Structure formats: structure tokens, C-alpha cells
Amino acid sequence: MAEPVRGIPEGHPCRFRGRFVLTSQQSDPQAEKQNFSGMFHIVSNLDYLLDVPREHSLPVQVAYHNQQSQAFLQGAFVDGYGLLLVDYDSEGKPYLTLAADVLRPQPGDPSTREYVDSSSGMANPTAVFNGTITGIPFD
């Protein structure tokens, strides 16, 4: 089995807060039960410490109970909060699943240029978890 990276044990959850972009859409984008794919875009100036490429994208599978009938359209920017489950495949690459408590899609039509131009941009996500972090060699 692959060794977990950056001190997050395999199969352990952490709390997540951040922004991602939807890469899929259900046939009914306002359905109560939402399951779709997303992508975290990560920009790191600590790539030499964390072994994360300077610009990197991580796929995530998202599950959400859409009580307010919000529309989740492919290409939309979404601010999300919830429980992030980290697993690793046979090559040691992380596989992320987000059980979302709150999702807030940026309003508008993601297929238009105006949508992208008016976006507040992608920011690095914030992950909060308990435990000892290992493998970050600070002096």
C-alpha cells in the first residue's frame, strides 16, 4: 500500500473550507440530492517543502443535500464547507470526497465570459484537522 503523504492518514476525514470549480452537472442541476465532480486549483509557494507542484489541480467528488434548490451548473465556482475524506490510490495519489454541509455557487451563467471575468478568483482551500502533522521539514 502507498505511504500517505503530508501526514494525513489514509481514510481519515478533516474539515474543509474553500472554493472549487464544478466539472460535472446532474441532469437536474437543482435536484435535492446532488452528486458531482469538482476540481480544487492549488497554487503553492511551498512546493519545495510540501512536495506539491506550484500549480496543481486535485479532483474531488462532492455529495450535497440541496435543500434550497440552488442550481449547480458545470463550470460554476462554488464556495464549500464540509467534511473532506482523504484516501489514496495504488499509486499514492490522493482521492478526495467532500460531504458538504454548505455549498454556495457563484451566481450567473458559467458558460459566459462575463462570469469568469466577474469571478472573485480561485483561492487555496483551507483544511482543518486534528492530529500531528509530519513531513513538513521546517528549520
| Position 116 in a domain | no
Written as tens digits, the pLDDT of the chain (139 aa) is 334 444 445 556 778 888 899 999 999 999 999 999 999 877 665 555 556 555 577 889 999 999 999 999 999 999 999 988 887 778 877 788 999 999 999 999 999 989 888 876 666 677 666 555 555 555 5
SS3 letters across 30-81:
CCCEEEEEEEEEEECCCHHHHCCCCEEEEEEEEEEECCCCCCCCCCCEEEEE
Check which CATH number belongs to the domain holding 23 and give it: 2.40.50
**For residue 20, what are the β-bridge partners?**
78
| Position 30 in a domain | yes
| Position 119 in a domain | no
**Structural domain count of the chain:** 1
| Position 88 in a domain | yes
CA gap 128, 17 in Å, rounded: 8
| Position 127 in a domain | no
Whether this model's pTM surpasses 0.85: no
| Position 124 in a domain | no
Per the structure, the complete domain to which residue 94 belongs is given by: 12-109
